[in-house]
């Protein structure tokens, strides 16, 4: 094989992707980071020095001569390096050309690009919110399967200035401005424990209040400036980390005296845009979406406060009636939605649970 340019990584049988590529420990990211979030291991932007054939694949190991690159479609793009002297056809397949043509003719895709949104999916959540008014300023929102981040963008905008949004996804993604993220498999108990630990601190992930200026209208009612704001602004990063660590240790030592159930139920809205990679088998795709919806519902049972809301995407099929029944045992009202921005040929739909009930029968919600 012709050697690649410096900086390229070729995965051969002797340099197969490590298992940690697919099962990484939870990692907390923040939009405060100035640099891009780069994948670990052999995942990198691949620039082949010659024409290449492309093949889409899931989380599978590649044979010799393959390089990996991150893809915004939540899968891995497997590109075959072309040996010297060997010609190959065009890398653009018929399906990718159809996708590009559809995107160019899609009014929501064009509008998302103009408005700086991560994807057209933002309009689905906006249309759901226009009907049910899910968001209010200051809310805590958890976005499951947040990549590429369009739903999180909407949540940040509708809960500002003091709302907090936490996104969770298996893929390493640069978070939108104002969004805290945890990278990891949501189905992992360790990742869910990390999420709950993050949520227990009511101030963690919230934007800091701006310091009062010399303008008297920005001072507090009695004419005095809150000195804690000034002290916090003058505290260095390392010192703040030490203080936060000490606070966490103190909380751990007093855990027996704290009612953790009340602390865990601190979320106002749980969003689930999770979906498994489609297989082409309608029943398999539907069953996979039901599993993810139930996992999101179980998380909501543990973390959603009374009166909180729940939105989850699913593939329509024979089991969605059972899921709807479970939702009705936990929420005051349950609606099935197909937003205008959702393509008519797609089998996706959304369940919207309005106002969690004060008393919920767990067995009724999770009955087999």
- Catalytically active residues, by annotation: 313
Beta bridge partners of 43: 68
Residues in a beta bridge with 140:
164
Return the structure tokens found at 143: 């976005």
d(CA 211, CA 229): 7
Q: Map residue 123 onto helix, strand or coil.
A: helix
Neighbours of 301 (CB within 10 A): 18
Are 198 and 205 a contacting pair, CB within 8 Å?
Answer: yes
Pairing relationship of beta strands 164-169 and 179-183 according to DSSP bridges = parallel
Give whole-number Cα distances, 127 to 2, 40, 202, in Å: 51, 36, 29
Of 355, 317, 348, the residue nearest 334 (C-alpha)? 355
């Amino acid at each position: 094989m012709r050697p690649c340019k410096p900086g390229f990584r070729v995965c051969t049988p002797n340099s197969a992707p490590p298992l940690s590529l697919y099962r990484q420990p939870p990692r907390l990211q923040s939009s405060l980071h100035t640099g891009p979030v780069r994948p670990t291991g052999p995942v990198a932007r691949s620039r082949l020095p010659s024409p290449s054939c492309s093949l889409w694949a899931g989380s599978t190991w590649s044979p010799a001569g393959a390089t990996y690159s991150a893809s915004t479609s939540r899968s891995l793009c497997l590109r075959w390096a072309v040996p010297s002297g060997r010609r190959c056809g065009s890398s653009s397949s018929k399906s990718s050309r159809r996708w590009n043509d559809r995107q160019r003719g899609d009014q929501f895709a064009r509008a998302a690009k103009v408005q700086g949104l991560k994807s057209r999916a933002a309009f689905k959540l906006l249309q759901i919110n226009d009907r049910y008014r899910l968001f209010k300023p200051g809310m805590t929102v958890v976005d499951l399967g947040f990549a590429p981040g369009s739903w999180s963008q909407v949540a940040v905008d509708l809960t500002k200035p003091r709302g907090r949004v936490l996104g969770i996804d298996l893929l390493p993604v640069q978070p939108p401005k104002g969004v805290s993220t945890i990278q990891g498999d949501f189905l992992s108990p360790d990742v869910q424990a990390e999420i709950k630990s993050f949520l227990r601190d009511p101030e963690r992930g919230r934007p800091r209040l701006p310091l009062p200026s010399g303008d008297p209208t920005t001072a507090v009612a009695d004419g005095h400036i809150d000195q804690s704001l000034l002290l916090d602004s003058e505290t260095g990063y390392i010192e703040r980390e030490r203080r936060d660590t000490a606070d966490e240790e103190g909380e751990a030592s007093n855990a027996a005296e704290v009612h953790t159930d009340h602390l865990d139920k601190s979320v106002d809205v749980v969003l689930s845009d999770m979906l498994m990679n489609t297989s082409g088998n309608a029943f398999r795709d539907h069953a996979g979406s039901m599993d993810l919806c139930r996992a999101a519902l179980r998380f909501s049972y543990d973390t959603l406060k009374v009166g909180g809301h729940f939105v989850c995407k699913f593939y329509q099929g024979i089991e969605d009636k059972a899921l709807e029944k479970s939702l009705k045992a936990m929420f005051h009202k349950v609606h099935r939605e197909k937003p205008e921005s959702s393509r008519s040929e797609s089998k996706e739909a959304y369940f919207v649970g309005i106002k969690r009930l004060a008393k919920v029968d767990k067995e009724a919600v999770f009955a087999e």
